[in-house]
Amino acid sequence: MIGRIQENLSRQLRALELLFSLLEEEFADLCDRKPQDVSAIEISIQELMRQVAMERKSLRAMIGAAYPGKQRVHEVVKALDGEAAAVLSTQLKDLDRAEQLCAIQADKNRQLAMGLYDQSMRLLKRLHQAIEPGKSDLYSRRGRFAKSMQPQASVFRGRL
């Protein structure tokens, strides 16, 4: 059972290493402003995250079946003695370190993507303002002076 847990943790660690490399590639594509490449990588990242989640779910099920009352690998490590506990503890530390690296890189990607989004929105607003018609009290399409859109004060008289 410990061997299967170690294999599962090893697969998760390799998946997170691959995730980190995909995040770095996404960052490079964001810097080069290649949206099609970013979209393709994003799909791969989502699929990899789904697989990691399934690995974690299967690990919890495995631990729950083998060690009733225990839900986490840390609890299993505390219950074990010797070399197996040391190996699992090392794997957990490596896994945590890889998760932290992925989180840092994902935050960098998010900040860059949001910066590019804000820049694009400001440019789009500026373009819209440039093509919007200005004041309406200028000349109309027919070459006549256009009347103001605000009505002037007037007095109404009427008979029934």
- For the stretch 29-80, pLDDT in tens is 999 999 899 999 999 999 999 999 999 999 988 888 877 777 678 777 777 7
Model confidence at 1: pLDDT above 90? no
Q: pLDDT at position 38, please?
A: 93
Model confidence at 150: pLDDT above 60? no
List the CATH code of the domain at 2-131: 1.20.58
- DSSP characters for 88-141? HHHHHHHHHHHHHHHHHHHHHHHHHHHHHHHHHHHHHHHHHHHHS---SSSB-T
Q: pLDDT at position 82, please?
A: 82
Residue 121 tokens, joined: 């929105």
